[in-house]
Structures are given as C-alpha cells and as structure tokens.
Amino acid sequence: MTGRPTLAVVGATGGVGAVMLQILSQHADVWGDIKLLASPRTAGTKLSVRGVETEVEALTEEALRGVDVAVFLVPDDVAARWAPLAAAGGTVVVDGSGAFRGDPEVPLVVPEVNAHAARTRPRSIVASPGCTTLSLIVAVGALHAEFGLRELVVSSYEAVSAEGQEGVDALRRQTALVANTKLGTHPGDVRRAVGEATGPFPAPLALNVVPWSGALREDGWSSEEMGIRAETRKILGLADLPVTATCVRVPVVTAHSASVHARFEQEITVERAHETLATAPGVVLFDNPAAGDFPTPADVVGTDPTWVGRVRRTLDDPRGLELFVCGDNLRKGAALNSAQIAEAIAAELSA
Amino acid sequence: MTGRPTLAVVGATGGVGAVMLQILSQHADVWGDIKLLASPRTAGTKLSVRGVETEVEALTEEALRGVDVAVFLVPDDVAARWAPLAAAGGTVVVDGSGAFRGDPEVPLVVPEVNAHAARTRPRSIVASPGCTTLSLIVAVGALHAEFGLRELVVSSYEAVSAEGQEGVDALRRQTALVANTKLGTHPGDVRRAVGEATGPFPAPLALNVVPWSGALREDGWSSEEMGIRAETRKILGLADLPVTATCVRVPVVTAHSASVHARFEQEITVERAHETLATAPGVVLFDNPAAGDFPTPADVVGTDPTWVGRVRRTLDDPRGLELFVCGDNLRKGAALNSAQIAEAIAAELSA
Ligand SMILES: NC(=O)c1ccc[n+]([C@@H]2O[C@H](COP(=O)([O-])OP(=O)(O)OC[C@H]3O[C@@H](n4cnc5c(N)ncnc54)[C@H](OP(=O)(O)O)[C@@H]3O)[C@@H](O)[C@H]2O)c1
Ligand SMILES: NC(=O)c1ccc[n+]([C@@H]2O[C@H](COP(=O)([O-])OP(=O)(O)OC[C@H]3O[C@@H](n4cnc5c(N)ncnc54)[C@H](OP(=O)(O)O)[C@@H]3O)[C@@H](O)[C@H]2O)c1
C-alpha cells in the first residue's frame, strides 16, 4: 500500500454511523479517502466527516473497490452478505454487527484487552462485540489480567438507543405520555397511558424496567444474555469461563450499566482492584460513595471510557469483587470500538 | 383476652400507613377496635378504615393503653423509642421500621417463609424485613425449602416510593422536566435539566439509574446491601449463607425488582423450579418470554404477590438458577407483610 489507507464507513447514515463520523472527525487522522456507504435509499445524502461534506453512495462491489478498510455498521443480514464480498475484493472488514462475533475464524476484538487478536484474520474480517459486553469487558479484562477471572455474574441496565432511533423515539414519546400525571401507582395505568407506543420493546419503558433484550434462545435465555457469555469467553480466551447474565432494559436514552459479581483465582482487595482499575487504559475509576461519586448513565453518556464505581470485596469470598460499570453504548459500545480496531489495522497496513 | 384484639396503626398518616388502612379495609376483619396513631402534628386528622372515619390520635403511652397489637410504620428512631414502651405496657409490637431487624431477641418474619418464628418474641416485638429483601424472599424461600440455598447474588432495581412521598414527588418533577426534550444524549444534560430537584436521591433519576440506596456502611457497602444479606440469613435461618447484593435505584414509582442468581445444594431444573414456584403461597409464576410474559414493575404495582419470571438454569452450573422478581414495595414490601404478621398474632391471641 502506498500512502494512507482508504476507509469506507458502511452504514454511515445510521445511529452508530453518525457517532462514527464524529469520532473520525475528532481522532488523529490516519486515513486517506473516507467513503460513506449506505443503502440505495439514502444514496446522494450529504454528511460531514473531518469537516468535509461527503456524498453517501449506495453499497455496491464497485463502491468497495480500492477500499483498504471497511467498517460495517449495518444490520446483521446486510453484514453477513456484504462483509465476505468486501473481503474477497481485498478489503479488511471491521464488523460492528452480530453477524460474525461467533465465527471461530473471525477474531472478536477489544483493543484494550486483546489487540493482538486483530492481526490474525483468516477471513479478512474482525468483529466488534455487542454493546452490553463492551460496557463491562474493558474493566473486567483489566482485572482478569491481574487476578485471573474464574466466574462472572452480570445484571444489566440497558439504554434504549441500543435499539436504534426507534428505541429512543419510543422512550421520548412514552416519557411525554406519563409526565405530569400521577401514573405508576396502580396496576396497568402505565400500560394504558403508553398504549401502542411501546416501540421496539415488549412492554412500556417509561416509569418501568423490562427484563428482556434481544431475541429468544433456548431454555428461556435471550440472545443478549448468551452473547455476553460467548463474547466474554472469546475475548478473554477463557473458553470454559462460567458466565451468567440477566439483561434488563431501563428508561435511559444512552449508556449501558451493569452490576458485576466477579470471582478470581487470587485473593483480591478493594485497594488492589482500585490500583488496577485506576491505571487501566480506557477505564475511569469513579468510586467514592461518601462524596456521591459513582457512575450513572446520565453522567457518562457522550464519553469514551468505561466508568467503574461501587467497588467492594464480596463479603463472604476473599476472591470475589462487586462492581457497577457504565459506558456509552454508541461510543465504546459500538462506533468507538470499531474505530479503534480500524485505526490499529490502518497502522499495521501503513507500517 | 376476651373478644377480638384491639389494633393500633402507629404511623397511620404515612405512605405505608395509607396502604395499611386499605389492606385492613380489604382483608377478612379480625380486629376489635382499630386506633390510628401518628405524631402530634397530625393528631385530629380523620382517616377512613373499614369504611369508618377515624380520628388520628397522637402517639402517647395513654393512647397505647389496652392495645393488644400495634403495627409501627414510623421512622427508625420513633420505633426504637416507642416500641419497647408499648411492649412494656403489654402490647405485642409488629415493627415495619429498620430499628429491630438485627436484634437477636426480635424475630424477623415473612409469614410465607418463617411464620413459626413470630411465636417466640422475648421482647414482645416482631420485625418485618426491608422492602428489597421482601421483594425476593418469598420466592427464594420457597426454592430454599425445596432445593437448599447455598449462595445468593442480587442486583436490585428499586422504586422511588421506598423513599416515601418525597421520592415520588422528586421523580414526578424530574420526569416533567425531561419530557418533551432531546435530553439524555449529552454528558450532563439531564443533570442540568433536573438541577436541584434530585429530592432524596444522590443524582437525577429521570432517564437515569443510580447505583445507591441507603446509608454508607464500611468498605463501600450501603445499608440496603448489608440489610439484604443480614435479613435473608436471619429469615432463612442460614447464619453463614453467602449473600452479595448491589442496590440500584431506577425511575419507577412503585414496585421493586431484583435479578437473582441462586446456587442450591441440589441440582435443579427449570421444570422443578417452575413447579415449586407455581404452588408457593404468595408467588405468581409469570414466565413465558415467547408470549412476552415476564413481570415488570408497571404491571405488578398494586398487587400483593411476588411475581417471578425469567427462570433459567445457570448454564455452567446444574445447581444454579437465575430469576427476575418483582413485588410492590408498599404492599408486600411494607404494609402487607406487617398486616400478615399482625393477623397471625391476632389469631394466636384469640385462640
Ligand atoms: N445501537 C447500538 O448500541 C449498537 C451497539 C453495537 C452494535 N450495534 C450494531 O450496529 C449496527 C447498526 O446499528 P444502528 O443502531 O446504527 O442501526 P440503524 O440506525 O438502523 O442504521 C442502520 C444502517 O445500516 C444501513 N443499511 C441498512 N440496510 C442496508 C443495506 N441493504 N445496504 C447498505 N446499508 C444498509 C442503513 O442505511 P440507510 O440509512 O440507507 O437505511 C443505516 O446506515 C447493527 O448491526 C447493530 O446491531 C448497535
Ligand atoms: N416505603 C417503603 O417502601 C417502606 C418499606 C418497608 C419499610 N418501610 C418503613 O416504614 C416506615 C414508614 O415509612 P413511610 O414511607 O410510610 O414514611 P412516611 O410517609 O414519612 O410516614 C411516617 C409516619 O410516621 C409518623 N411519625 C413520624 N414521627 C413520629 C413521631 N414522633 N411519633 C409518632 N408518629 C410519627 C408520621 O406521622 P405524621 O404524619 O404525624 O408526621 C407518619 O405517619 C419507615 O420506617 C420505613 O423505613 C418503608
């Protein structure tokens, strides 16, 4: 390759795509041309990236020609079809969808945790994890490197923007419907107020929490819960790690949170956990309840790192730790992680 | 005792007191006189119970004379001072506050789980657990009786009414402040909109979740988290049970939820867990995700039982189970459990 690599953002018109364009405009610029691709529906739209108005093109093999790295921020089925075509044409694909996360020939990468894995890509595809895994894996990965993870129990508090603009619109509409009322004290009154406006969710979210995200899998598990387990194991290289998760949607626009119970091989203290987290790349330790310091979604939205607070040693297990983590599901949870992977590949191609 | 016992509701003018008066009007009537007591501030107020307008009296030793059973629904310090005085005068006290839950001479009772414990009361006081423990203990107790509980990991989703009317008012005010806006996508915008209107909470709750409830205890734990552990151990009679909890406040008016990871002595299957839960008194099994059946706070508010859904066997442990439970923190979580204890004592006194 001569000169800087050409990048394509596939899905540039989507929710994650919009954050990707912001990030590309903010980060040190490592790219030559940047092409913006989407469906034929939005071809011709103009979007700004690096301060330059750029016309969106329809995703075609022609449009992918000469692209060195393509970041796919599109639905699973679109990625499943197009990523291999792009790879066959010589493009390295970074896929933000769920299409390839479980593929044994596709590395699943979180640069702070397993950057090295991105260098071996038999299919010329690298996958980025799901947003719930990404909300906790940077902190958990740093602790694993130091203390040796042996078990993980996760309960999530997931924001609606993980269901795209439709999710955000549904929560905003519902919030307006329940505001200035005495709702929330009688059975069914929130459901009646929200009516059909549940959007992509199986129950109202305003003044409510809903213990479901993703699609139904075997034995009552959701795809999101299974994903946290499979992805954590793959990223940490711990194929048999016991991981259990319960995923719950909450009325938050953006930023996922998780309550994490972790058991390690070694004994652990809050002091040593603090030391590890305070120096881990991509992590902000924000843990002083006496001063009201613990992360909340409203405070971390729009920021890059994984925020960690409420660090406690499990009272009945000297090898156990409790944490509460928060991270922006559109930044580190989606666009940022894909951008970081793409930038590492750019550095490798330019080297 | 001749005739039906006399009941006093101490704290009749409070949030839990109001629910207690409803419950007394709905349940089979086992009482003779019902006296309503509160602070001198509200003495003279008239409230309806069993369809009868009743004047609230100030709490005094005189007012407690002749009372057989007194249910205390008042702040901890008021209960700590007055419950022993009432007991000294021959009244059996059912205390809904936190003042006596940890007292080894005071039984901590959940009638579906350990009704027998209410019969031994060296101090003539019986305590009712905190609302977060009560949101899960009926379901967990039924599973323990069948499979032998060995470990519990809890993450809570707590409603604001557990902080009284002040908590409800704060959430309603905040919801109005963020409704009809594009808030929730930029750092700090929810905090700016909510301003000083955080009420009794350490951070805004509208479009947010806050990983804190209760007062600060040692090593970063909250009183609520420590309470779940101590109360669960005491109610189940498992003094060394490993219990770990992370308590999180969510923007829900009423009904607490919890994600529960439980490990048992015996192997367990979803089928056997379903059988146990479906027949357990005080539990409603609502678990069919394919049909969208799982409990949410908006659906269970105002009802008596503990609702259980999302029952799954832990994938990496045949003795582990995951559940999501919901219960009304003002009914079973407070007034109802105290009423049930008082009614059992009434039956005992009348026998
Ligand atoms: N939101 C999150 O928190 C999150 C986190 C991690 C991963 N992800 C994943 O990221 C991906 C994008 O999510 P999103 O929330 O940004 O979705 P979105 O807002 O619906 O955007 C979808 C994007 O895909 C494009 N697209 C759809 N069909 C296409 C086709 N046939 N050919 C080319 N482009 C097509 C759309 O283009 P048009 O505008 O032309 O339709 C749009 O740019 C999904 O796989 C999602 O699962 C999301
Ligand atoms: N809310 C829940 O989910 C929940 C759950 C479990 C347990 N609890 C416990 O139940 C108790 C009551 O909670 P709440 O939410 O109902 O509180 P609340 O609404 O503030 O009511 C407090 C009650 O206590 C009375 N009171 C205060 N000081 C008094 C005094 N010096 N002498 C006599 N009465 C006095 C008040 O009477 P005035 O109206 O005269 O001031 C009022 O009736 C608390 O201990 C709470 O921790 C609450």
Q: What is the ipTM of this complex?
A: 0.96
Compute, in angstroms, the gap from residue A15 CA to the centroid of ligand 1.
Answer: 7
Task: Determine the residue of A46, A56, A73 to mutate for testing ligand 1's pocket, defined as the one with the most ligand atoms within 8 A of the Cβ atom.
Answer: A73
Residue B255's region, left for phi above 0, alpha for psi from -120 to 50, else beta, is left
Q: Is the CB of A333 under 6 A from ligand 1?
A: yes
Nearest CA in chain B to A194: B298
Residue A74, ligand 1, Cβ within 6 A:
yes
Summarize pLDDT for B90-140 with one digit per residue, the tens.
999 999 999 999 999 999 999 999 999 999 999 999 999 999 999 999 999
> Ligand 1 within 6 A of A337 CB?
no
* Reported confidence tier of residue A196, pLDDT bands at 50, 70, 90: confident
**Chain B hits for A232, Cβ within 8 Å:** none
Q: Name the residue of A13, A47, A74, A136 whose CB sits within 8 Å of the most ligand 1 atoms, as the mutation to test its pocket.
A: A74
Read off the DSSP letter of residue A33: -
Look up residue A5 and give its DSSP letter.
P
Judge whether residue B1 has pLDDT over 70.
no
Cβ neighbours of A191 (radius 10 Å): 16
Distance B261 CA to ligand 2 centre (A): 32
Ligand 2 binding pocket mutation candidate from B35, B74, B137, B223 (most atoms within 8 A of CB): B74
- List, for residues B285-300, the tens digit of each pLDDT value: 999 999 999 999 999 9
Q: Say which residue the tokens 């790879």 belong to.
A: A87
pLDDT at A186: 77
The reported pLDDT for the residue numbered A3 is 87
| Catalytic entry in B131, B144, B247, B326 | B131
Distance of CA A306 to CAs A309, B87, B250, Å?
10, 53, 20
Distance separating alpha carbons of residues A49 and A308, to the nearest angstrom: 32
Relative to the alpha carbon of A159, which ligand is closest? 1
Write down the pLDDT at residue B267: 96
A297, B182: Cβ pair inside 8 Å? no
* B131 assigned to active site: yes
User: Tell me, what's the pLDDT at A89?
Assistant: 97
The residue of chain B nearest to residue A244, with distances taken between CA atoms, is: B314
B220–A184 CB contact, under 8 Å: no
C-beta of A288 in contact with ligand 1 (< 6 A) = no
Residues of A involved in catalysis: 131, 256
Is A211 in contact with B244 (Cβ distance < 8 A)? no
Mean pLDDT of chain B: 96
Cα–Cα distance for residue pair A222/A334, rounded to 1 Å: 20
Is 80 exceeded by the pLDDT of residue B268?
yes
Catalytic residue among B116, B256, B261, B274: B256
Judged against a pLDDT cut of 80, whether residue A185 lies above it is answered with no
Q: For residue range A265-285, list pLDDT tens digits in order.
A: 999 999 999 999 999 999 999
Distance CA A34, CA A15 (A): 18
Residues 6+ apart with CB under 8 A from B16: B73, B96, B330, B334, B335, B338
In which residue are the tokens 């995703």 written?
A: A59
Largest CA distance in chain A: 67
Coil, helix or strand at residue B284: strand
The pLDDT value recorded for residue B329 is 96
- Mean pLDDT to the nearest integer, B5-9: 98
Rounded distance between C-alpha atoms, residue B86 and residue B65, angstroms: 8
Residues with Cβ within 8 Å of residue B195, at least 6 apart in sequence? B177
Cβ contact (<8 Å) for A254 and B185?
yes
pLDDT at position B190, please? Answer: 87
Query: Does residue A202 surpass a pLDDT of 80?
Result: yes
Which residues, judged by CB distance below 6 Å to any ligand atom, belong to the binding site of ligand 2? Answer: B 11-17, 38-39, 41-42, 59, 73-76, 78, 96-98, 130-131, 161-162, 164-165, 329-330, 333-334
Distance CA(A36)–CA(A55), nearest Å, equals 7
* The pLDDT of residue A182 is above 80: no
Per-residue confidence (pLDDT) for residue A217, from 0 to 100: 97
**Among B214, B253, B254, CA closest to B230:** B214
Q: Hey, are the CB atoms on A175 and B176 less than 8 Å from each other?
A: no
Shortest Cα–Cα distance, B291 to chain A (Å) = 9
pLDDT of residue B221: 98
**pLDDT above 70 coverage of chain B, percent:** 99
CB-neighbour burial class of residue B288 (10 A; exposed 0-12, middle 13-18, buried 19+): exposed
Give which of A283, A328, A282 is closest to A301, Cα–Cα: A328
Proportion of chain A above pLDDT 90, given as a percent:
92
Among A216, A242, A296, whose Cβ lies nearest the Cβ of B209? A296
Is the pTM here over 0.80, yes or no? yes
Give me ligand 2 centre to Cα A136, in Å: 39
> Inter-chain contact B289–A183, Cβ cutoff 8 Å?
no
Compute the nearest-CA separation of B265 from chain A (Å): 17
The DSSP H or E segment spanning A82 is helix A76-88
Can you read off the two tokens belonging to residue A220?
């009552």
